[in-house]
Amino acid sequence: EKVGNNTTIANWNTYDLHVEYDYGSSFYSVRLGPAHIIVLNPYTDNRAGDNSRQLTWLRQELASVNRTETPYLLVLTHAPWHSTCDKHRAENELATKYLKNAA
């Protein structure tokens, strides 16, 4: 099945999305001046729980940020951190739990 902006999938949480990325990892970070920007993939395979590749990377990434040199830390993801839309409510809770577990 082709996945794109017009794909209709009833529940992203149960959809197995395994996408090959020719341009690198689907989660990454960038330092831009005084900001450290972390971009997460909310649709990665999180069934490994605390041992997932993304969570392991995130913990290392957060520990490596020198907040004296880089006072601004931004964490972005495609799924909204907060939404009043019922379709995203489970994603909000999962993303918040995921980030709190990384700390």
Question: How large is the C-alpha radius of gyration of the chain?
Answer: 15
How many beta carbons lie within 10 A of that of residue 50, not counting itself? 10
Chain centroid to CA 37: 12
- Any catalytic annotation for residue 82? no
User: What 3-state class would DSSP assign to 86?
Assistant: coil
Query: 89-102 and 53-64 are packed helices; what angle lies between their axes, rounded to 10 degrees?
Result: 50
Catalytic residue of the set 18, 36, 78, 88: 88
Read off the tokens for 21: 């990325």
Active site residues: 88
